[in-house]
Structure formats: structure tokens, C-alpha cells
Chain A
């Protein structure tokens, strides 16, 4: 099973709202990621969790707050977003580098976020 699930599929929120994006994987991966993708652009890394600890934050504004409650779940809490934050938010998971011969990140289908 190489499935990463994300909920919700679509989200519309106002600039004063608080919402959360959820991601789940059951592949035993201990690295999980949040990416942001704008139309016609490549995925842009936001956060990396390794063994449930935040290992990379790509200078993301504090209105995005990640959380990794356990090895299967990853959340992204959203607060006071701006219209320019509208994008496809992708979750991914992988083995931690060095623990396997291959290193693939498996992506979920994404959450299409619109900030009004």
C-alpha cells in the first residue's frame, strides 16, 4: 500500500478563519512533508518531519503551523491566511534517508485551498 490520504479535498476559508489540513499514511514511513504548489509551478517544500520531530522549516510564515501527533499523522494548522496563500497543499511521506536503498517520496492527492 503506497497511499497517502489527505482531507479535506477542497477548503475555502476567510482570512480570519482557523482551519486544519490532515494527512495520513500507513506505510511505516518516519519522514513526512508539507509542500505548497501554485498553478504551473513545481511543488515547494514547506516543512519536513523526521521521527515526529520538525527537521526542516523552509522559512514558512507563522500563520502556517505544522504538527505531527504520531508517526502516521501530519497536520497543518492555518490561521489568518492571505489570498496569496491559495494553492494546492500536498503531503508526502518517505523512508528516512539512509534507512533504505531507495528514497521515494509518496504524495497524497492534495488539498485545494482558497483564501477569500
Chain B
């Protein structure tokens, strides 16, 4: 039973445009959400997070939006750069210190 779903396996965007990555979750007990970026053969790199009491968090080119009623969050990257090409994982915090990860979305930014 997948509690965190990233339904788009891949996304292709032109350099300079906006990239929007989406994530849906089913567990209403999740109280914290994170986005990670991962290059091949490296560990995931933390990008941005949001608490369930907020609906938006911004850090430079990255903005995360949370819609609790829809159990949906999204990551916006503006403007997209070729170096952003990677696998993006959405994660949600369950009880204690446990994170549950989505399956990931491959982002390709074309120059």
C-alpha cells in the first residue's frame, strides 16, 4: 500500500521555464513533508520541507505548496536549470522519526 505517490515517472522541461513536480499522499497523520533530489550513485540531497500547519514554503528557486484537504503537495522550480536534472523524491514523516518516500520523478531540463 503506497502511502506517498508520485504518479509522473518523468518530466521534461525547457531551461528557464517552470518545473512542477507533484506528490499525493493517503495518510492524514503525516505532519511534515520533504523534497529530495538525487543524482545517480549519490545519496539524496535535501531540498525543501514544509510542516503540515503551513501551505507554502519558499527557498530561492524552490517553492513547496501543500494542500491538506486534497492530500497533495507540489514542488515548483523557477527558473529550471540543466543542473536540476535529477530524480526528485517526495517524502512524508510518519510516527516518530520515520520517513516514507514516493517512487520518484525523473526531471530532465533541456537547454
Residues of A at under 8 Å CB distance from B? 2, 4, 6, 31, 33, 40-45, 48, 50, 55-56, 88, 90, 92, 94, 96-97, 102-110, 112
Binds A, one of B14-22, B62-70, B95-103: B95-103
A55 lies within 8 A of B43 (CB) = no
**Residues from chain B with Cβ under 8 Å of A108 in the complex:** 43
A109 lies within 8 A of B43 (CB) = yes
B49 lies within 8 A of A107 (CB) = no
The residue in chain B whose Cβ has the minimal distance to the Cβ of A94 is: B97
How many chain B residues have a CB neighbour from A under 8 Å? 20
If over half of A's interface residues share one DSSP class (helix, strand or loop), that class is named, otherwise mixed; here it is strand
Scoring B residues 29 to 55 as 1 if CB is less than 8 Å from chain A, else 0, what string do you get?
Answer: 000101010000111111001000000
Residues of B at under 8 Å CB distance from A? 32, 34, 36, 41-46, 49, 89, 93, 96-99, 101-104
For the complex, give the distance between the alpha carbons of A2 and B93 in Å: 20
Q: Which of A42, A43, A44, A97 contacts B96 (CB 8 A)?
A: A97
Q: How far is the CB of B9 from chain A (nearest CB, A)?
A: 9
**Residues from chain B with Cβ under 8 Å of A106 in the complex:** 46
A42-B42 contact, Cβ under 8 Å, with A50-B96, A97-B96, A104-B34:
no
Q: Would you list 17 pairs from A and B whose C-beta atoms are within 8 A, ordered by A residue?
A: A4-B43, A6-B43, A33-B97, A42-B101, A42-B103, A45-B98, A45-B99, A50-B96, A56-B96, A56-B98, A90-B43, A97-B32, A103-B34, A103-B49, A103-B93, A104-B34, A106-B46
